[in-house]
Every structure is written in C-alpha cells, then in structure tokens.
Structure 1
C-alpha cells in the first residue's frame, strides 16, 4: 500500500469508490431498543460521512424491515446528484413468498428496494444467504434472475456472501462453510463477495488460499463488513448491546467469558501503537483496508461523532511489520474466543 491508498478503488465492473464506506443498518422504529440509532443521528452521520468523502453505502432490505433503505432514500431525495454507490441485499426476507429466492420474489424485493432508496439502479445486489431451499431448488432461479437484472441494468454487479458461521464455531464448521461457498461461487460467478471480517474471523481456506488471494485471482471484489466487531475492537466493549439486530447472537455471552482476553489484547495494541484517541479504531480499519486493492470496507455507525472518528483517525498505512503485530494479537483473540465458545457449549449442555 502507498500513501495514496485511500484513493478511489475499482471494486468491480462499473463500481469505483472510496475504500471506506458505510454499513447502514437502523432498527425498525417500532422494534428499536434503548440506545438504538435514531433517525436524526443516522442522517447526521450520513451527511458527515459524505463530507468526509464516503461514496459507498451498504444496506439490505432486511435491515429494520426496509427502514434503513427508506432513510437512505430520504437522504438522497435532498441531494439526488450525489456521486454515491449503493449496495443492498436480498435473501433474508421472504414476505408471503414460499422462499426468499422463489419465483419473482427477488425482482419484487429489488423493485421495493429501488423505491425505498429513491434510485433507478443498484450498484451492487447481493444474495445474502446460502439457503436456496431443500436441495438448492431455488438456486437456478436466483442465478437466472440476478443475471437478467444485471443484463437489463437494474443492477451493475452481482454479489454473494462469503463463508460465514456463528462466533466461536469449530474449525470443522468453518471448513464446511468454505466448501459450501466454493460450490456456490462456481455456479453464481459473482462480481463481488460480501463478508464480515475482523479479528474474530477465522482464516478459511478456499482451494488452499485465503479469501483475499482467492477473490483477487478470480478478479472478484470484496466488501468487508464489521471491521470493528460491533465496537469491541475500538475499545467500546459493550457496543454489541445496542446492535440493531442479532448479527451475533452468541457474542454477548462469549464476551462475558473472555473479557479479560479482549482487554489484554487491546492493551497490547495500545502499547505498540499508542494511547491517542482513535488508535484502536485506526488499527482495526487499516488492517482491513490494506488486505487488498480489490477490498472496500464498510463500517457501522450510530452518530456523526462516530463517523468523524472513523474517517479522521486513518492516518497513513500500517507497515508490514505493524500488520504482522496486529495479525499476531488478533490471532490470540481468536484463540481466546475458541476457548470461550467451548466453555459456553459445555455450560449449555449442562443446563
């Protein structure tokens, strides 16, 4: 990486964007918990991010039952000429259809997403689940519909999820997810892979390569989400408590089991990189941004102060030596997580 590594990146066909984007997820107002992101703080955060140069906004039809998309649409109606790239997902909400990927449901969801976002085209549309029905009965339909949407230019690029499993999953579970991903990747032939990536994400091998080398070899872009692990890696250890959806339902229980390990790891990072405000955030974001030039990182936020910290703390690239330090410390965190997961599993079995 060079000193100019925060310039525009080519994610995929027709999508060139600032490498640090926003993960836009707001709870349905009727179901919001105390501490959840409010409409005003979300819109203020969007304004600040765009002022800071953000161009890539990532959301999904399932976030807040479409509320997140509608808020972005409200923001865009104020200035429809902003040069933004919009990403959304399908596959978690099935409505009254027999399956989220059945028949014309994908088309229906896209039509609603475009209306919610106040746009005529999506830059990236991602299949947000590996569940294509029993024996993948809806997989062929999903592939055909997505390719047609790209051909008629309703979307610019097709995305699919990367390998994913619960926090603390066993190596065997992750290996199985890697095999499932490879099978679907060969059939879907996506332009982009969307995947959570942070210190707690195991290094799953795909055909003997990590996901970064694998996608680079195939000319596929990567969107990396949750780089701060819901605030844990920025030192805000209770940030997961106000998460608008249960993206990591086991994380709160696991956190209570290995809080000491987290504090130890964050302390080691502070000793290496300093105590200045935003240092931990910088380390987490930089270690994601520097994984490859085909990577775009999307970071969540709850207010404009958080956005300001994320964009102002980046500084220059980490050196190879510094990246090695980060990787070693994050590996220790994953080891702690695995041990905590094993302990909670034993406890659950004994209840």
Structure 2
C-alpha cells in the first residue's frame, strides 16, 4: 500500500489507516477476538497506521491494540492516540499534570514507554490558542513520554490555528464527500506548513456505504442513535452533522457515482485519498471483511474529473446548507 509522510513526524504511514473507535465502544458490542481479527486483517492488507483514543471503550481500544502489537511485534504499526476527554471539557483542565496522568494511562494501555503520537481530542476552542498547553506538550516530548503531538479538531478555524503552531505534527479533521469545507483553506495551509492531514469520519458514520435505510435501527449504545442532534458530543461527529433523512437521499445519489467494481464506501475513501494534502484516511471496521474492503480502496484508480465534479454538485445541492457554515 502507498505510504505517505505524516507531516512533521517524518514517519511514513499507509494512505488507508484504521480507526478503532468501533473496537472500543459507541458502535455496539464487538467481541475481543473479532476486534483482534480486524486489526490483523488490516495489517495483512498493508495498513501501518492505527488511530485510537483513551476514551474509546474507557481504554479498551488502546488495550486491544497493545495486546495485538505485543503478539505481532513484526507488524510495525504507527499508533496515534488521543487525549483530553477524560475530564470536563474546560480549558483549564488541559494542563501538564493532567497530561501526565492521561499519558501514563495510555502508555500502560498500549504497553509502551513512548507513545508515537498523541492528539488533543477535539478540546474546547480556546485550547488551540494557549501557549501553556503547547508548552506542556513540548514537555511531554522532552520527557520522552511522547514522540510527537498533534490535534483532532471539529472546525476549520481550529485547524488553521493549530497548523500555525510549530510543534503540531498533524491535524485530524472530518473530511468526506459530505464535508468539503476543509478543501478550501485547511488542506492548502497544512501542505504549506508541512503538517499532515488525517481524514476521519470518512464514511459519514456509515451513510456513504449506501447500506442504511429509513428502517435501519441502530443499537441503543450506538452514537448514531443517541447523538444525532449532538446530545453527547459534537453533532458533526455523527453522520458528519447531516440529518439522517437528507443523508440517506444524498448517499443513494452518491452510490450511483461508484465506478464499476468499486463499492460506494471504497469510492468515498478513494475520493479522500486523492485530495491534495491528505496523508491518511482512517475508516473504522467492525469485521474482517470491512477492514479488507476499506484497505482495497487504496488500489483503486483515481476518480475521473467527471466524478469529482459530480461529488461537488451533490454536496452543493444537498449537503452544503446544513454543514458548510457550521464546521
């Protein structure tokens, strides 16, 4: 699989990574043996980048990755975790003492002395402008607790603020055919600064697979049930902020753009991969088949200009009014 440099880390990672939110919680139950099989299938397909967080399943996702990498030391996977959402979302909670405590927990979960990459996990907006926060992160690097740090953001404005920070290695942001705003300023600014871009929520919480209908019922502990209007965390994390009914109609139209031999999900991933400035896209997977199909998107031929134009037109007609001004 193609490898790209992840911004200021200087490390290369696969253009299709693996998001592991699904393996922790908030998407219904996943058995441990199934989760480990997903990790293994991704690696077999050439994935070298896992993304996790200390709150996914209250650490379960990190622990599963740690176990897998102990059992597969030859895997050579770069692991990015996230931190900051273990306490109330107040700017003052983003301080060195808390960073050290959260860091100790993640290192124990993953079974390593030094974390490859720690990303601030969509913190309150003022955090991105705090010199003290980034001084604290520099301290973690100096203490060899972490090798690099980065941010995960909700808005393009937050991304641009973070990119201006000299120590920020990469920015994780929602980018998919239903969320095009990052193409305007964020990706060009990141490329100019040498900052990596990790595209998350690439399938709009599954909408872009084209598999869901108005009759689909998600589990009670699935965020697609309990966070459709931002009840638990930012609404943009669920279906990319698009209301479910609109998303279904747009997804049906998008499915018609898939090239022969490609699924709608693979088409969405291929669209992201070929956006200038993107380092890696991190779809989640709950099964071995999903993990393999996602990875195979890296081998698809680039989408045609006609298809790219059709994606833009779909977005402008159906999606832009709901999301473009908000994030």
| TM-score where L is the length of structure 2 | 0.81
Contact 1:228 1:299 in 2 (8 A): yes
Q: Which residue of 2 aligns with 1:226?
A: 201
Structure 2 residue aligned with 1:280: 264
Deviates more, 1:248-257 or 1:291-300: 248-257
Cα distance change on mapping 1:71 and 1:244 into 2, 3 Å:
farther
Change in 2 beyond 3 A, CA 1:85/1:338: closer
**Any idea what SS the aligned residue of 1:155 has?**
coil
- Whole-Å separation in 2 of the counterparts to 1:61 and 1:283: 30
Q: CA deviation at 1:21?
A: 0.3
1:313 to partner: Cα distance: 4.5
Mean CA deviation greater in 241-250 or 188-197 = 241-250
SS at match of 1:149: helix
- 2:16 and 2:294 in contact (8 A); partners too: no
- Once the two structures are TM-superposed, the CA of residue 92 in structure 1 deviates from its matched residue by 0.8
Which residue does 2:308 correspond to in 1? Answer: 323
Q: How many residues are aligned here? A: 309
Residue 218 of structure 2 aligns with which residue?
A: 241
> Shift of residue 112 of structure 1?
1.2
Match of 2:234 in 1: none
1:116 corresponds, among 99, 103, 109, to: 109
Q: 2:24, 2:52 → 1: CA distance?
A: 14
In structure 1, C-alpha distance between the alignment counterparts of 2:31 and 2:43, rounded to whole Å = 19
- Asked if 1:53 is matched to 2:46, the reply is yes
Structure 1 window deviating more from structure 2 (230-239 vs 109-118): it is 230-239
* Deviation of 1:237 (Å): 2.2
Once residues 137 and 191 of structure 1 are traced to their aligned partners in structure 2, the CA distance between those partners, rounded to angstroms, is 14
Range moving further from structure 2, 196-205 or 155-164: 196-205
2:175 to 197, 216, 228: 197
SS at match of 1:273: coil
The alpha carbon displacement at 1:305 in A equals 1.5
Shift of 1:158: 1.6
Give unmatched runs, 5+ long, in structure 2.
Answer: 230-237
CA displacement at 1:256 relative to structure 2? 4.4
Q: Would the aligned equivalents of 1:199 and 1:333 in 2 still touch at CA under 8 Å?
A: no
Partner SS state of residue 177, structure 2: coil
In 1, Cα distance between equivalents of 2:242 and 2:4: 36
Query: Equivalent residue for 2:35?
Result: 42
* Equivalent in 259, 281, 288 of residue 297 of structure 1: 281
Report the counterpart of residue 17 of structure 1 in structure 2. 13
144-153 or 49-58: which moved more?
A: 144-153
| 1:309 equivalent in alignment to 2:309 | no
TM alignment of 1:1-351, pairs within 5 A = 6-12=1-7, 13-26=9-22, 35-94=28-87, 100-131=93-124, 139-164=130-155, 178=157, 180-187=158-165, 189-203=167-181, 209-237=184-212, 241-242=218-219, 244-245=222-223, 248-250=227-229, 251=238, 255-258=243-246, 262-263=248-249, 265-274=250-259, 276=261, 278-314=262-298, 315-335=300-320, 337=322
For 1:282 and 1:100, locate their aligned partners in 2 and report how far apart those are by CA, in whole Å: 39
Indicate the structure (1 or 2) with the bigger Cα radius of gyration.
1
Mean CA deviation greater in 8-17 or 246-255: 246-255
Per-residue deviation at 1:23?
Answer: 0.5
Take 1:155 and 1:240, find their aligned partners in 2: how far apart are those partners? 40
